[in-house]
Amino acid sequence: MKGKALSLWQRLKMQLSGYVYVGDRQRPGWTGSLPFYAFKCEKHGIVQDYPHGYWALWKDSIPIVVNGVLSQLYCLKCRKEERHE
């Protein structure tokens, strides 16, 4: 899936709901895979991320319900920049 462009249907769905599921992925060091979603960042364009816990709502994050659990999507590039400020 890596680097694969979004299909027209995925783009449409993303515009309607704010995000679209792009597949389960595993990162190095992870024991399992997590669902990844594509969404639009005002600054970085279309980015992909997995849902994060909702313990603190980041600004500009997108609320998402995964398996009945409220989570959030946010742009990791933006979060990284904030930490360096």
Please tell me whether residue 75 binds Zn ion under the rule CB under 5 A. yes
- In whole angstroms, how close is the CB of 47 to Zn ion at the nearest point? 6
C-alpha 43 chain-centroid distance: 14
Choose the binding region for Zn ion from 3-11, 26-34, 65-73, 76-84 (rule: CB under 5 A): 76-84
The verdict on 73 binding Zn ion (CB under 5 A) reads: no
| Closest separation in Å from C-beta 81 to Zn ion | 8
Structure tokens at 54: 């909702």
Strand partners, 64: 71
CB 51 within 8 A of CB 37: yes
Q: Report helix, strand or coil for 77.
A: helix
Query: What are the residues binding Zn ion (CB under 5 A)?
Result: 41, 43-44, 75, 77-78
